[in-house]
Amino acid sequence: MRVFVTGATGFIGSAIVNELMEAGHQVLGLARSDASAASLEAKGVAVQRGTLEDLESLKRGAQASDGVIHAGYNHDWLYAADGDFFTLFMAAAETDRRAIEAMGTALAGSDRPLIITSGLLGLAPGRVGTEDDAGDPASPRNASEVLVLAMAASGVRTSVVRLPPSVHGDGDHGFVPGLIGIARAKGASGYVADGSNRWPAVHRLDAAVLYRLALEKATAGSRLHGSAEEGVPFRDIATAIGKQLNLPVVSVASDEAEEHFGRMGRFVAMDAPNSSRLTREQLGWNPTQRTLLQDLEQGIYFEQQVNA
């Protein structure tokens, strides 16, 4: 298959591209810069120049392909120094929704696959979430899920891949490096309250396999969970970070979470265990890579921080 991939040079997207090519697929990658285009071309990937805001470019990429994997997303809102957090998050989510709408329109009536990316945090508060759960109506990203699942009725083989907050592995620049940076700055590795809240996790290479399987085998309108680990206690994550940095591991009161963790304080206390049983049964997905704590024990994250 010829597959159009957004986010093709990103942490997850680059792993997806490699996985697709190793499986014999051809890839058309979205590139917004000369550097991104050059890195794709060096791998033998065809290039579609454009951005997530360039809807015409997205339509052309989708029309020229046998399927689409949408792994691109603007996460700048999480790290922006200025601007209201929720306003920036909403803007990123609306950009995502419009991009999906454009690509889905281009694929209408073709029965070609369109796989998009969503998240697992906040899905099923107080219990283990499953693929049968609808998205969280309060999440700005839920509009993208609702839209793409409805497109199944328009002759598009749509799927939503929901990823954990901690997609880990070499080159990660997301939540875990953020936690490490906060621990360095505060002189302690923290967790909220008793730290028993759980985060699902997946290695980026296992996630890449899931996207390929979704492309090849997922049924229209399916929700897929990329949780290799159902839920890692946050206290264990903080403890692993503290051990590597030789820093104390401390409890942070719930009402002080945002002061300690900054914008990440909105997420670090969330209890979000999620099952991927149905995904594994449907697609034969079998994660084989290192766990989150094993990755932290390898020390790669801390070498990255030193070399950054």
Domain ranges for the chain, please list them.
2-168+201-228+275-289
Residue type present at position 248: P
The fold of 2-168+201-228+275-289 is Rossmann fold (3.40.50)
Cβ-defined contacts of 242-246 (< 8 Å, 24+):
242/183, 242/188, 242/189, 244/296, 244/297, 244/299, 244/301, 244/302, 245/180, 245/183, 245/184, 245/189, 245/302
**What pLDDT is stored for residue 197 in this prediction?**
96
Inter-CA distances, 181 with 53, 141, 187, 252, Å: 31, 26, 10, 16
Q: Which residues contact 204 (CB under 8 A, 6 or more apart)?
A: 11, 12, 15, 167, 168, 169, 171, 172
**What pLDDT is stored for residue 304 in this prediction?**
58
The pLDDT of residue 306 is above 70:
no
Q: What is the pTM of this model?
A: 0.95
- 8 Å CB contact between 77 and 88: yes
Cα–Cα distance for residue pair 260/253, rounded to 1 Å: 9
Position 88 confidence tier, pLDDT thresholds 50, 70, 90: confident
pLDDT in tens, 22-66: 999 999 999 999 999 999 999 999 999 999 999 999 999 999 999
- Average pLDDT on 91-96 reads 93
DSSP count for the chain of H helices, then E strands: 13, 12
